[in-house]
């Protein structure tokens, strides 16, 4: 792999440049330390620990796949995985749909465009802890939204998802979509603005209705933006921790437990590092499979000119 | 780097029919209300007294608006054992954020510069690994890092949490600066080389002044990111240096008897204030920052 790497140099440098490259190498030491030391060695160490009996402290007694067997026999982990799938699919879908609609509607030469944009995006500037706490307060059964609507006369109105183990995950979902859909809106709006105006003229000349143009012409052209959005949102899904801790603490029961929280709980409070690292390795797997090839293709593989 | 242009709508010409125009505005206004409600509720709740909150009029304006809950949240609320309010967390966040932002930007710009103009054998592979780090869930590397910091005596210290933020900021900062420097004309670099400038001279005298716009983006991206961090602060900062987000969560979780929702909401607003101010003041740069965070080469 080393040889192919070197061929990607932007402009081939003469031999005498070699001496100066030492400065470059020195400047790159922190990068090398982080890349190798943290993202290779630490990841490798974590994965290795998942094959050991480590409890509170690392222990190098090799136990093969025992921790993984235990992990997949732990109901809390199974629930976490189920939760993250349900949450992830709905979160990504809702953010994409609402982000796309917001972008399309904002792109209709509306008044106050920048005002709307500011409003749609401000939650993204706030932390997930803040987001979780605000929504927890509004979803409080006796003082929150439910109470207000009931007092207005709609007695049977129910909106207190966080206290029900069946609906709590949707309560988290609302908060998450509120926080992140503005991001998708911003990306999609940039995508829409990047589309050649000629496309619109051509579509109009051909008499294609606006909605059809959006659906069959514009949307396919926005594929790169969609992929970027999905990658970003998906990374957020795998990592979801702060929001859960602030909004539900994983409850009621295990209703909103997530893999990211499972790992932290097992390496801190529950002092079962081996099992926690097995869970962490499972979290790494989808990231590795999706992001790995993409990074290799985009950035590592030499560009051919 | 992908430049985001937000000036001038490019969509189809608005139709004359007022019905569809009405639909557009109806959608936008209802969306705007959905996005506003939490902020509104936070604000009014923080300015109410507890008796008024118990009435359950979530959306009602405060009858006697006052900032006593804000004062309490800032200087008296209990964050666990201590009851000095969230101010300690605020200053901790400041102490964590400023050096972390500065160091990660310096290293990121240096890396980006080396990767754009001074590539060496294996530099692309190194960058690939680093970039991969931007996607690695923290959970996968946290435990080895805890051990490492414990061994070096940095665990639970200010230096430790700054180091951690620098590590996790490096992938995205490197990417940002690499993309920016690659967009600069090669001739600039070649001319400087012909004039005999070395690695550091070119970096300090040519590249740094040129990279002010991208640095602004980097500062915004890192400041909001580090300020909003919860997990890393919780684990690595140590009891003395807990950032504001962690203290906020502690205030809300600490319940002695009644829950003081007004104080909780005031503390929440105080915590959100810095990133919100950055967002409102920086406008386009913030959007550019998140687009850069979108890892688009």
Q: What is the pLDDT of residues B246-272, one digit of tens each?
A: 999 988 887 666 788 888 899 999 999
CA distance A21 to chain B (A): 7
CB proximity under 8 Å: B 193-232 to A: 198-200, 224, 227-231
On whether the CB atoms of residues B160 and B236 are closer than 8 A, the answer is yes
What are the b/e assignments for A154-180, b being 16+ CB within 10 Å?
A: eeeeebbbbbeeebbbbbbbbbbbbbb
Q: Which two tokens stand for residue A119?
A: 């409003």
Rounded to an integer, the average pLDDT of A221-239 is 86
pLDDT of A62 over the 90 cut: no
CB proximity under 8 Å: A 112-151 to B: 113-114, 116-131, 133-135, 137-138, 142-145, 147-148, 151
Residue B6 has a pLDDT of 60
Q: Does B278 touch chain A (CB under 8 A)?
A: yes
Nearest to B58 among A130, A138, A284 (CB): A138
In a structure prediction context, what are the per-residue pLDDT tens digits for chain B, which is 297 residues long?
Answer: 444 556 666 666 655 667 788 888 999 999 999 999 999 999 999 998 888 888 878 888 888 888 888 888 888 888 777 788 888 999 999 999 999 999 999 999 999 998 888 877 778 888 888 888 888 888 899 999 999 999 999 998 999 999 999 999 999 899 889 888 888 888 888 888 888 888 888 888 888 888 898 999 899 989 999 999 999 999 999 888 999 999 999 888 876 667 888 888 999 999 999 999 999 998 888 888 777 766 543
Residue B8 has a pLDDT of 66
On whether the CB atoms of residues A120 and B35 are closer than 8 A, the answer is yes
Tell me which of B50 and A81 has the higher pLDDT.
A81
Rounded to an integer, the average pLDDT of A68-88 is 92
pLDDT of A75 over the 70 cut: yes
CB contact (8 A) between residue B271 and residue A118 = no
Residue B229 has a pLDDT of 92
Rounded to an integer, the average pLDDT of A148-172 is 85
Residue A152 has a pLDDT of 83
**What value of ipTM does the predicted structure carry?**
0.86
Residues of chain B contacting residue A263, judged by C-beta atoms under 8 Å apart: 139, 142
Work out the angle between the directed axes of helices B261-282 and B87-117 (0-180°, nearest 10).
30
Q: Which of the residues B124, B148, B296 would you substitute to probe the A interface, choosing the one with the greatest number of A C-beta atoms within 10 Å?
A: B124
pLDDT of A169 over the 60 cut: yes
Residue A6 has a pLDDT of 40
Residue A147 has a pLDDT of 82
Residue B297 has a pLDDT of 37
Residue A124 has a pLDDT of 92
Residue A294 has a pLDDT of 75
Residues of chain B contacting residue A234, judged by C-beta atoms under 8 Å apart: none
CB contact (8 A) between residue A110 and residue B275 = no
Most confident of A25-34, A265-274, B242-251: B242-251
Q: Which residues contact A196 (CB under 8 A, 6 or more apart)?
A: none
Residue B184 has a pLDDT of 85
Residue A2: pLDDT band with limits 50, 70, 90 = very low
Residue A156 has a pLDDT of 79
The residues with which A253 forms a beta bridge, in sequence order, are none
What are the b/e assignments for A279-294, b being 16+ CB within 10 Å?
A: bbbbbbeebbebbeee
Q: How confident is the prediction for chain A on average, in pLDDT?
A: 84
Tell me which of A45 and A297 has the higher pLDDT.
A45
CB contact (8 A) between residue A134 and residue B123 = no
| Residue among A267, A258, A241 at smallest CA distance from A50 | A267
Tell me which of A134 and A224 has the higher pLDDT.
A134
Residues of chain A contacting residue B182, judged by C-beta atoms under 8 Å apart: 10
Most confident of A25-39, A170-184, A195-209: A170-184
Residues of chain B contacting residue A295, judged by C-beta atoms under 8 Å apart: 128, 131-132
Residue B274 has a pLDDT of 94
Residues of chain B contacting residue A20, judged by C-beta atoms under 8 Å apart: 118, 198-199
Q: Which residues contact A163 (CB under 8 A, 6 or more apart)?
A: A141, A252
DSSP class per residue in B257-277: SS--HHHHHHHHHHHHHHHHH
| Residue among B99, B220, B114 at smallest CA distance from B163 | B99
Nearest to B4 among A21, A38, A190 (CB): A190
Q: Does A245 touch chain B (CB under 8 A)?
A: yes
Residues of chain A contacting residue B137, judged by C-beta atoms under 8 Å apart: 238-239, 260, 280, 283-284, 287
Residues of chain B contacting residue A281, judged by C-beta atoms under 8 Å apart: 140
What is the distance between the alpha carbons of residues A27 and A25, in angstroms, rounded to a whole number? 5
Residue B5 has a pLDDT of 55
């Amino acid at each position: 792999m080393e040889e192919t790497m070197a061929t990607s140099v932007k402009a081939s440098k003469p031999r005498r440049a070699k001496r100066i490259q030492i400065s470059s190498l020195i400047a790159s030491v922190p990068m090398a330390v982080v890349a190798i030391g943290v993202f290779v060695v630490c990841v490798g160490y974590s994965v290795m620990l998942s094959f050991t009996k480590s409890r509170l402290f690392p222990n190098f007694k090799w136990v093969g796949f025992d921790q993984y067997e235990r992990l997949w026999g732990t109901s809390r982990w199974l629930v976490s995985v189920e939760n993250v799938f349900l949450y992830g699919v709905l979160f990504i879908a809702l953010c994409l749909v609402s982000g796309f609609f917001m972008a399309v509607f904002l792109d209709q030469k509306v008044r106050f465009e920048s005002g709307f944009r500011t409003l749609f995006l401000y939650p993204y500037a706030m932390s997930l802890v803040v987001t979780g706490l605000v929504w927890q307060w509004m979803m409080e059964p006796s003082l929150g939204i439910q109470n207000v609507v009931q007092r207005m006369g709609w007695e049977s109105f129910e909106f207190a998802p966080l206290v029900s183990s069946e609906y709590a995950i949707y309560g988290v979902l609302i908060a998450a979509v509120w926080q992140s859909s503005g991001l998708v809106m911003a990306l999609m709006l940039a995508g829409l603005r990047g589309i050649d105006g000629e496309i619109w003229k051509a579509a109009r000349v051909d008499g294609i209705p606006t909605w059809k143009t959006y659906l069959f012409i514009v949307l396919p052209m926005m594929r790169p933006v969609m992929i970027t959005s999905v990658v970003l949102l998906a990374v957020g899904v795998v990592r979801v921790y702060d929001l859960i801790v602030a909004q539900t603490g994983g409850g009621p029961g295990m209703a909103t437990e997530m893999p990211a929280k499972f790992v932290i709980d097992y390496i801190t409070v529950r002092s079962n590092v081996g099992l926690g690292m097995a869970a962490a390795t499972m979290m790494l797997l989808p990231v590795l499979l999706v992001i790995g090839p993409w990074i290799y293709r985009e950035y590592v593989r030499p560009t051919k000119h | 780097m992908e430049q985001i242009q937000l000036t001038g709508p490019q969509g189809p010409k608005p139709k004359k029919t007022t019905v569809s125009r009405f639909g557009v505005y109806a959608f936008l206004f209802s969306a705007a209300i959905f996005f506003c409600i939490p902020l509104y509720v936070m604000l009014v709740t923080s300015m109410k007294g507890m008796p008024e909150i118990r009435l359950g009029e979530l959306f009602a304006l405060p009858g006697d608006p006052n900032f006593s809950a804000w004062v309490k949240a800032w200087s008296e609320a209990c964050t666990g054992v201590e009851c000095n309010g969230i101010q300690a967390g605020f200053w901790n966040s400041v102490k964590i954020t400023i050096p972390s932002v500065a160091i990660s930007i310096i290293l990121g710009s240096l890396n980006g510069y080396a990767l754009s103009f001074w590539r060496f054998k294996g530099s692309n592979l190194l960058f690939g690994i680093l970039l991969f780090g931007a996607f690695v869930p923290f959970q996968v590397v946290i435990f080895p890092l805890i051990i490492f910091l414990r061994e070096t005596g940095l665990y639970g210290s200010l230096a430790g949490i700054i180091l951690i933020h620098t590590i996790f900021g490096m992938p995205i900062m490197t990417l940002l600066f690499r993309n920016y420097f690659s967009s600069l004309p090669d001739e600039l670099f070649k001319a400087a080389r012909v004039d005999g400038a070395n690695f550091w001279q070119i970096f300090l005298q040519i590249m740094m002044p040129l990279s002010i716009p991208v640095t602004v983006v980097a500062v915004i991206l890192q400041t909001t990111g580090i300020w909003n961090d919860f997990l890393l602060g919780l684990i690595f900062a140590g009891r003395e240096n807990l950032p504001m987000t962690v203290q906020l969560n502690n205030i809300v979780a600490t319940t002695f008897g009644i829950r003081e929702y007004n104080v909780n909401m005031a503390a929440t607003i105080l915590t959100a204030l810095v990133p919100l101010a950055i967002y409102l003041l920086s406008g386009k740069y913030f959007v550019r920052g998140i687009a850069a965070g979108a890892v688009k080469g």
